[in-house]
Structures are given as structure tokens and as C-alpha cells.
Amino acid sequence: MDSILDKKGSDIVLLDIREQAVFANYFLICSGENERQLKALAENVAGDAKHKADTLANSIEGEAQYGWVLVDFGDLIVHLFSPEKRDYYDLEDLWRDARVVLRVH
């Protein structure tokens, strides 16, 4: 979470999807205002996990230039969106049965 706040990520939501999915336990969803910020968020999330928790991302998918980056840690999947792509994909509505663990505006 600090990795995202450090790079000024906004509208952060942590969803507990354990009752809805078998491929992960949590989704962390965050907005970044532009390509540069999305790239910095993804790099910071992956870098902090490696240095602070000795955990490597299984994969990083998507590209900041297209408004969406996914950092997959297995049990936790971090979705970083531009505001437009976040509205388009609307994961909060798609996973509306998931429990909201944390919300930071």
C-alpha cells in the first residue's frame, strides 16, 4: 500500500475475492493520472515487494501507455488503471460481491 501512496496513486480499493475466485485472494485496484505515473506505480509496487518482502511478481502485464498495468503476485493481483480504463473495465462492479477490505480516496 505504501508503494502506491508514495507515487500518489489514488482511489485505492482492496477487494477480498476469496469467495468468488480460485485464482487469487485479493485484488488491489488503483488509479494513476497518466502513463508516467502508472509506470512508476507498477515499478514501485514490484520493487518494494522484492526489496521489502523478498517477493517477486509472477508477471507484469499490460502497458502504462494503454492505461492499464497488472502486477500479479499470485494471491494478490494489483490493477493499476488510468481513470478512463478503470471506468471502462469497472472491476469494482464486476466483482461487486467481493468484500471491500480497504478504500482510500
DSSP characters over 24-52 = -SEEEEEE-SSHHHHHHHHHHHHHHHHHH
**pLDDT of 3:** 79
At the topology level, CATH places domain 2-100 in: Beta Polymerase; domain 2 (3.30.460)
Q: What are 13-37's pLDDT values in tens digits?
A: 999 999 999 999 999 999 999 999 9
**pLDDT of 53:** 87
What sign results for the dihedral spanned by CA atoms 23, 31, 54, 102?
negative
Please give the Cα distance from 53 to 105 (Å, whole number).
25
Any idea where the domains of the chain sit in the sequence? Answer: 2-100
Residue 1, pLDDT > 70, answer no
> pLDDT category, 98, cuts 50, 70, 90?
very high
Does this model's pTM top 0.75?
A: yes
